[in-house]
Amino acid sequence: MTNPLLSGIRVLDLTRLLPGPFCTLYLAQLGAEVIKIEEPQGGDYARHLSPELFALVNRGKQSVTLDLRQAEAVSAFKTLVAGADVVIESFRPGVMDKLGCGYDALREINPRLVYAALTGYGQSGPFSDRAGHDMNYCGYAGVLDQTGVAGGPPALSNFQVADLAGGALTCALGILAAVIGAKTCGAGSFVDASMLDGTLALQVMALASLRTFGHALPRGSDMLTGGLPNYGVYKCADGKHVAMAALEPKFFRNFCAAVNRPDLARLPLMPGEAGTALRKELAALFKSRTRDAWEHLLSHKDCCVSAVYSAQEALEQAHVRERELVESDSGKPAFRFPIRFSDTPCGTAGSPALGQHTHAVLRAAGVGEAVLAALSASHAI
């Protein structure tokens, strides 16, 4: 059952690959009607590059094929725009204007339209026309420089911070704010969402260091990247790891009591050389048991020490099952919307086949049979 909170909101989604589709997946899970506009030849690149990724981030959407390089398809798209609340695209700046479908053209049709452009670098500035991916945005935002161990090179992550957090979720927030504004005052707006901008805005810890010390601390040496011995990752007897996040002294004291090592509580909780003795003691201690043995011993000791799970283990843990955070999509695991609302169940259907809803959606929008036939004949749909 779909969450009804955004029921009645229609989104025309021209995005591809990951950030844009993930943004509109959240809108679909909240109950919006998301119509995915794809090129007739091949559609979203993710359909071929990673079919399982496509299936995950396009659940609950409809697929309409329109070749916006053809005038007939542009006309049909504008018919859809007249009844839409949101248009979201992820082309480089100016592409939609060249197609005759930019914000200025579309708001003439629908003054309450929210038009969101999700790009790497935004609509202005010297980087605006550059190509990029998550790693590029994280590099420019200073995130990559802070990721990794002291003395080592920057480390890559399989979690796309810029694509998903700086981009998709920031854009979704902007869309929802603009939709509320349109409902309130009757006028839509242009939402300029940049993955670099959004990622930079998440850098609160780095900014705090800059404000405190005048510079960011080197990779692996600040409070949350390995500088403190009581906030780090330690290897266990079986080669697996635990995460110790006993940042506040009370949590570290609880840990010392749980492992019957009151002597550790007397060592300084300090970064750098001052914390070396404690770090060595903790490294030796954690190697004395397996990861699961530590989890069994410490999980209820209120000390912020947890197992480091693989992705498969994360899906199978009891807490995730109890919270029903994973649902089935064609017999395979998929994530539910992560926020719970009172009396509003959520869930989504599977992902659409390319062009599966083209004729039904266009007919419902008022496109006549003769026009549909002409669109089909010209391969515009």
Given 163, 192, 222, 329, which residue is catalytic? Answer: 163
CA 68 → CA 56, 79, 203, 331, 367, distances in Å?
26, 13, 38, 35, 16
Per the structure block, which two tokens stand in for 203?
């850098």
Given 133, 241, 357, 359, which residue is catalytic? Answer: 133
Among 310, 311, 347, which residue's Cα sits nearest to residue 329? 347
Among 301, 305, 373, which residue's Cα sits nearest to residue 72? 373
Distance CA 91, CA 100 (A): 14
Task: Give the contacts of 50 (CB within 8 A, at least 6 positions apart).
Answer: none
Task: State the DSSP H helix or E strand holding residue 185, giving kind and residue range, or none if neither.
Answer: helix 170-185
- The three-point CA angle 279-283-284 to 5° equals 120
Q: How many CB atoms lie within 10 A of CB 127?
A: 16
163 is catalytic: yes
Among 122, 133, 188, 187, which residue's Cα sits nearest to residue 156? 133
Left, alpha or beta for 241 (phi > 0: left; psi -120 to 50: alpha)?
Answer: beta
* Structural contact between residues 104 and 180, judged by C-beta atoms closer than 8 angstroms: no
Classified as helix, coil or strand, 12 is strand
Residues annotated catalytic, as ranges: 133, 163
